[in-house]
Copies of this chain bind each other. A is one copy, B any other.
Amino acid sequence: MKFPKAHTLKEIAEIIGSEFVGDDVFPVFGMNEIHVVEEGDIVFVDHPKYYDKALQSKASVVLINKKVECPEGKALLISDDPFRDFNRLTRHFKPFQTAGASVSDTAEIGEGTIIQPNVFIGNHVKIGKNCLIHPNVTIYDNCIIGNNVTIHAGTVLGADAFYYKKRPEGFDKLLSGGRVVIEDHVDIGASCTIDRGVTGDTTIKEGSKLDNQIQVGHDTVIGKKCLIASHVGIAGCVVIEDEVTLWGQVGITSGATIGTKAVILAQSGVAKSLEGHTTYFGSPAEEAREKLKQMAHVKKIPEILEKLKKN
């Protein structure tokens, strides 16, 4: 997420009460997660294993739990608990607001858009033109919806990321200050759940069509003209490129990238990134013909056992 206006490094450090390495007036424009972070943003890291990745990312400011050497042109915020302090910043810039009505006064609804009964639309939501939002849909604060979008009953846009840090006293939640962004001509079925980004966006691009009861995790990006069938579960930080087809009950693990025009057959489980222009099947998913061949091979085992008995 971007801050409402640029802040100085010193101002940010004061919000979280931390030391910093860098110029007092080093400008800070926002905060984000590592796989989508941009120049001007803060990223956080609290494990030495990921220090290099964070320091070499596009982030201009690294919120870190060790006073490491600061890369040229960047700044550091030094904290004993970067997770906690990243949450402090989210809370500071995106405080939770209760809504007094089913459609918030601060929401903007475009011309020709129909909002059916019992819909909840949170603060600062923007919905474009000629959309149809069916009953009992929930749209959390700050979500952005384009033109000609249909959302069926019971769907939830913008619930929190499922992202926790294990502490001795229990799970500590990474706060979600990001958004859900739905582009033009997207259809979303009934009872889907699309979580907001932690500080970035969960995005569904132009012309993609989702069936019912689909789960899309935080910060995931779904490309253009994708077709996604019922009960598909897509974890957080996934990238689905354009024109991908996912059939029913497919699951995709966190952080994976699915290449353009890939087709993933029903009930497959994707445990790693997959190339485009290919059809996959199985749990874990492999190239479909190869997987089906393996299944056919299993049926030859009795024959193999028979032969070995004779030998």
Contact = CB atoms under 8 A, between A and B. Distances in A.
Interface of A: 96, 98-99, 101-102, 114, 116-118, 120, 132, 134-136, 138, 140, 150, 152-156, 159-160, 162, 164, 170-171, 173, 185, 187, 189-191, 193, 195, 206-207, 209, 211-213, 215, 217, 225, 227, 229-231, 233, 235, 248-249, 251, 253, 266-267, 269, 271, 283-284, 294-295, 297-302, 304-305, 307-308, 311
Contacts of A116: 98-99, 120
Nearest to A173: B187
B162 A153 contact: no
Contacts of A170: 185, 206-207, 225
B193 A213 contact: yes
B302 A297 contact: yes
B300 A283 contact: no
Q: Is the interface of A mostly helix, strand, loop or mixed?
A: loop
29 contacts: A98-B116, A102-B117, A117-B120, A156-B190, A159-B189, A159-B190, A162-B211, A164-B227, A171-B225, A171-B227, A173-B187, A191-B193, A193-B213, A213-B215, A215-B230, A217-B230, A229-B235, A231-B233, A233-B248, A235-B248, A249-B251, A249-B269, A266-B271, A266-B283, A294-B298, A297-B301, A297-B302, A297-B305, A298-B298
A32 to B, nearest CB: 22
Given A171-B209, A193-B190, A153 B156 contact: yes
Contacts of A101: 117
A28 to B, nearest CB: 29
Contacts of A138: 118, 134-136, 153-154, 190
B266 A251 contact: yes
Contact of A136 (B136, B150, B305): B136
Nearest to A231: B233
A109 to B, nearest CB: 14
